[in-house]
Amino acid sequence: MTPAPIAVALDAPDLETAARWAALVTPHVTTVKIGLELYLRYGPDVIASVRGASGVQVFLDLKLHDIPNTVAGAAKAVSRLRPAILTVHAAGGPAMIRAAVEAAPDTQIAAVTVLTSLSEADLSRIGLAGPASDAVRRLAALSVESGATALVCSPHEVVDVRSEVGPGITLITPGVRPAGADSQDQARVATPEQALADGADLLVIGRPITASPDPGATAAAIASSLRRTIPS
Ligand SMILES: O=C(O)c1cc(=O)[nH]c(=O)n1[C@@H]1O[C@H](COP(=O)(O)O)[C@@H](O)[C@H]1O
């Protein structure tokens, strides 16, 4: 069975748990995502431990956001770990995004547009007037102009972003919740089936899989539901 286009967020408190989750889900998904919690505790070694022997694609989610020279150095430092994908914040601006792209030529740079945890009310409080989709579109366009070939947005904006940037860009959507699941700290959410039907290329799913009693079975169930949504 072909693995589904899901990146399981391994937001685990320790390496043993992350490696166990990775082993359970990798038959069913293409990608595992390592974020700040694991990377800041274990450093670069975490990549090899989680990648294991499976050859699963590793998505390194460090959400770099600093001046271009600093981000270039950071992207270069982690590019030797050969992550398939590395995140930067689109709000760092065109020169910063370009610096990451040039510093890590073998890694796909994914620009995070507007965090899926932010509601419209949060956006207006931080000074981004107008609907989230306007800011997401604007940040998506500038990221692609600056060389990013992947974008992170919520499932709500996938259709808009696709029409803005065209077919060649990888659209990654966190904020994914199976029907009826608690949205927790996520504000702009949709089901995996909806996100995929709207044109997302890779769905980031963490707690709905990893906090379930059987992460392997939950990943398999979501993967099989996605296969029914878009038969290969
Ligand atoms: O870049 C990300 O992966 C990301 C961007 C974003 O806007 N929202 C978001 O939730 N994420 C990540 O996606 C994962 C979502 O996890 P769950 O909410 O548990 O499914 C977490 O690891 C977040 O760090």
Q: Is the pLDDT assigned to residue 203 strictly greater than 80?
A: yes
Residues 45-70 have pLDDT tens digits of 999 889 876 779 999 999 999 999 99
Q: In this structure, which residue's CA is closest to atom 11 in ligand 1?
A: 174
Higher pLDDT, 44 or 55: 44
Residues with CB under 6 A from ligand 1: 9, 11, 35, 61, 63, 87, 112, 115-116, 152, 174-175, 184, 186, 204-208
Contact 98, 147 (CB under 8 A): yes
Query: Rounded distance, CA 22 to CA 219, Å?
Result: 11
pLDDT digits (tens, 9 = 90+) for 125-140: 999 988 999 999 999 9
Pocket probe mutation, ligand 1, options 60, 63, 89, 116, max atoms within 8 Å of Cβ: 116
Helix (H) or strand (E) holding 17: helix 15-25
| Average of per-residue pLDDT across 156-175 | 98
Nearest ligand 1 atom, CA 59: 3
* Cα 31 to ligand 1 centroid, rounded to whole Å: 14
Structure token digits, residue 193: 């089936």
Average pLDDT, the chain: 96
Alpha-carbon span 102 to 107, nearest angstrom: 10
Backbone φ, ψ for residue 47 (5° rounding): -65, -50
- The owner of tokens 């290329």 is 201
For the chain, how are helix, strand and coil distributed in percent, rounded to 5?
A: 45, 20, 35
Strands 108-112 and 150-152 turn out to be: parallel
Residue 63 is among the residues annotated as catalytic for this protein: yes
> At residue 184, does pLDDT exceed 90?
yes
* pLDDT recorded at residue 230: 75
The predicted structure's pLDDT at residue 232: 61
Residue 26: count of CB within 10 angstroms of its CB: 23
> For residue 86, how far is its CA from the centre of ligand 1 (angstroms)?
13
On whether ipTM exceeds 0.90, the answer is: yes
Q: How many CB atoms lie within 10 A of CB 121?
A: 8
Nearest alpha-carbon partner for 191 in 175, 207, 202 = 175
